[in-house]
Structure 1
Amino acid sequence: MATDSKVADDSSTPPSYDTILASPIQCDQSSVFSFRRMKKKRTAVLSRIRDIVLAPDFILSSVVPNVNACAAALSATELSKLLKQLNIEGHTALYWAIVNNRPQALWTFFKFISGTSPFVFSDLRIACMITNDYTMFKELRFGNLSDRRSRCFLGCLPDEVQVHTCNEPTNQFDVVFQIRMFQKRLRTATAKSLRFEFVAGGRIWWLR
């Protein structure tokens, strides 16, 4: 009596356990090298930025060439991200530019920053506070926190807040507010209030 016999197809047999263990993990070496190169670039750029804001032998004329060199080494997105991070002694490079009185570095950095973040906003305010720098506080457009829309609608000039130090050791100071079209703006303001901030005596004060 004839019987049919079939030979199993070896291609359908799963590989042995030993074969699986011996198989190497595939990895794109070019991607690894690219990541390492980028990491080295970021480290080098951060070191250069750190020197710009912290080095004692700071040279004013070297700011722009050094920042341009950083911009050439990284993409615009990477450089912007680096400048907005708290990566220098727990603060941003912008903070140290204010604290160490290097405004040219600060404004040069801003040219390469896209957008902002709560960390940057807070860091800038703290820097102005501890340096008692109300002039920088105003230049960064802090101070008048509300009513900008109604002021523009009425064609009103910017308000003025002048801080005069009377006795620095005791933190005594005078503040003069010149609020234009006060009654009209108060009627048109959405929150029915005007709020102002200023720096004096190593603190940030507000009036509303």
Structure 2
Amino acid sequence: MAYMSGLILRVADVDRFVAGWNDFGKQQFLDLGATSARISQSVFSGEDAGNIGLASEWDSIDAAIEHPAAVRSNPETAEMMKAAGVETLRRSLLVIQATRGSLEGKYGSLLVGTGDLATPEQTEENAETFWGQMQEGANGIQWHQAVAAGAMTGAYLTMTLSDSLDELMAASQKMFAQPEIQQLMASQNFQLTGRNLFKVLG
């Protein structure tokens, strides 16, 4: 089972932070055992607008919980974070339920919702259905459930990556208008509670 650690930061000097991430920060996460790592900036997301998100994938919760201390203990990283004015706002742990396509792109959408618990088989079936509707406007999609995320624990999150938010949103609107999708969502009591549109920084 794979997990995603999601870190939300307030950063005073975004350019400096991005430069440090590209120079050595991302590689540090990979060296610590992360299977992927990316940073993004929330653009249209209510009170989170402007904040930086750092998402890293891990093969176990043990690995995910050990990496923050290892990152902070690196002098180069500590100096970069201080110089860039980095403030940690919150950290969450998500379980990765399914992935389709390639998680690459200039932009992304993060949908948050609630619903009934689904079996692994239902989750895979849902992923196939949604990907079939969304792939014309998306490079890839990943589905998660929040394991430890404060008030959001138990919520479902869907991250979609694309090179065009216009194409992504057109595909999304078309999908949600389909009777098949509406019936599927109703049968699992799914309720959309939020969306964050973001820009991938590295």
Specify the structure having the higher radius of gyration (Cα). 1
Quick check: which one's strand share is greater? 2
TM-score by length of 2: 0.27
TM-score by length of 1: 0.27
Higher relative contact order (CA 8 A, sep 6+): 2
Quick check: which one's helix share is greater? 1
